[in-house]
């Protein structure tokens, strides 16, 4: 089996290693426009040796932002700032990726440090808006009451994903992830905890998965055939009667048939009352299950911090790559350090840093 620092090829794209930077919201945009902060933040991780760098959850329409400070690709003016970042990531040897998202009923909240200076408590956004969702119930106290999407509204969201995907391709991204996890719009249609609709988008498994599959189909129609299309799923809601692993496996098979190349396996977010047994590698079994049972490539994510831990996930065939988030915030050069710890030939330091290689 390959190791952490062996290449990974998906469609026409080859990652130099199997370490990726997971999408992480920076809450630092105005009108959805990324800026120098995002260039430095993402660029440092590319220069740090990651094989894949995925830009944060990027809203496909303005009302789909988690907060007013989120990134967006809902208009053409937002393309070039992202293109500047994609070009830099590519020059550093990392594959530039982007996650397209719609927050749905969890939209219009304040950035974490604006909601609560002492922690990540959620609060309403100043100058916020009415979000949309599968239904009209709010996610939790402190969230705005959404407007339930009708069929025309569902079509509008689907077309927004499609248009944003076309813009992402124009910006030079070579890896695209559709966010269907963490209780955001697409996940809220999947989960019976959130979706109580009585039409063809609610009730049965086929109905609850309809919006996600239609969105994937729309995106695949404009995303270049040779480039990877991936989906992030919450593989379980961690609540009895909610979305679960068996449904994720079944959906993964349907996604593969629609042209999805990899599933990024996360969990939770659909219910404020979920009890999540977080711990090192606690979501890795989901990646392994989808890989083996659905026959699709997977990414493992969630409290993967140690080099030996990440390498073992790859060597044991539990996932095809690992995505790191907070650990990459702590150490942008984690891939170099991990390669040294493992005694493997990793990505060389940039020549500007070569004096530190000894």
- 10-residue mean pLDDT series, the chain (358 residues): 96 98 97 98 97 98 97 98 98 98 96 69 76 95 93 98 98 98 98 97 98 98 98 98 98 98 98 93 98 98 98 98 98 95 84 82
Annotated catalytic residue: which of 27, 184, 282, 353?
184
Q: What is the per-residue pLDDT for 347?
A: 74
353 is known as an active-site residue: no
Provide the domain count of the chain.
1
What is the pairing mode between strands 8-10 and 13-15? antiparallel
Q: Which domain holds residue 36?
A: 8-356
Total H helices, total E strands in the chain? 12, 13
Q: What is the per-residue pLDDT for 34?
A: 98
Q: What is the per-residue pLDDT for 125?
A: 72
Residue matched to tokens 């060597």: 315
Q: What is the per-residue pLDDT for 223?
A: 98
**First and final CA of the chain: distance in angstroms?**
29
Q: What is the DSSP letter of 111?
A: -
CA dihedral 16, 20, 23, 27 (to 10 degrees): -80
Q: Which helix (H) or strand (E) is 98 found in, with range?
A: strand 95-101
Question: Residues, the chain, total?
Answer: 358
Q: Which two tokens stand for residue 213?
A: 């599959």
Q: What is the DSSP string of 92-130?
A: TTPEEEEEEE--GGG-SB--HHHH-TTS----BPTT---
Any idea what the CATH number is for the domain that residue 130 is in?
3.20.20.70
Is 225 part of any domain? yes
Is 3 part of any domain? no
Q: What is the per-residue pLDDT for 355?
A: 85
Would you tell me the crossing angle of helices 210-220 and 151-170 to the nearest 10 degrees?
30
Would you tell me the crossing angle of helices 79-91 and 36-47 to the nearest 10 degrees?
20
Is 1 part of any domain? no
Q: Which two tokens stand for residue 235?
A: 């593989």
Is 2 part of any domain? no
Q: Which two tokens stand for residue 190?
A: 């999947």
Is 46 part of any domain? yes
pTM, two decimals, is 0.96
């Amino acid at each position: 089996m390959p190791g952490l620092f062996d290449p990974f090829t998906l469609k026409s794209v080859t990652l130099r290693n199997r370490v990726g930077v997971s999408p992480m919201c920076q809450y630092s945009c105005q009108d959805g426009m990324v800026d120098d902060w995002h260039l430095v933040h993402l660029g440092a991780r590319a220069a740090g040796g990651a094989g894949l760098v995925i830009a944060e959850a990027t809203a496909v329409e303005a009302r789909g932002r988690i907060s007013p400070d989120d990134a967006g690709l809902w208009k053409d003016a937002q393309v070039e700032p992202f293109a500047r970042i994609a070009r830099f990531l590519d020059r550093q040897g990392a594959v530039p990726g982007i996650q397209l998202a719609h927050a749905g009923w969890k939209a219009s909240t304040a950035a974490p440090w604006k909601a609560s200076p002492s922690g990540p408590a959620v609060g309403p956004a100043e100058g916020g808006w009415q979000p949309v969702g599968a239904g009209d119930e709010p996610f939790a106290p402190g969230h705005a009451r959404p407007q339930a999407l009708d069929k025309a509204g569902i079509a509008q969201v689907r077309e927004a994903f499609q248009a944003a995907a076309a813009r992402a391709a124009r910006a030079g991204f070579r890896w695209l992830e559709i966010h269907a996890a963490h209780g955001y719009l697409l996940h809220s249609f999947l989960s019976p905890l959130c979706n109580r609709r009585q039409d063809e988008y609610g009730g049965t498994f086929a109905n609850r998965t309809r919006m996600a599959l239609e969105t994937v189909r729309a995106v695949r129609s404009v995303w270049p055939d040779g480039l990877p299309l991936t989906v992030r799923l919450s593989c379980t809601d961690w609540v009895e009667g909610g979305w679960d692993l068996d449904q994720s496996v079944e959906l993964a098979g349907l996604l593969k048939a629609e042209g999805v190349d990899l599933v990024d396996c996360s969990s939770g977010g659909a219910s404020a009352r979920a009890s999540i047994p977080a711990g090192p590698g606690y979501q890795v079994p989901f990646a392994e299950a989808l890989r083996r049972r659905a026959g699709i490539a997977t990414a493992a994510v969630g409290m993967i911090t140690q080099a030996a831990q990440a390498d073992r996930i790859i060597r044991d065939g539990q996932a095809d790559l690992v995505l790191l988030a907070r650990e990459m915030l702590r150490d942008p050069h984690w891939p170099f350090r991990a390669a040294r710890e493992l005694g493997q030939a990793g990505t060389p330091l940039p020549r500007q840093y070569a004096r530190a290689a000894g």
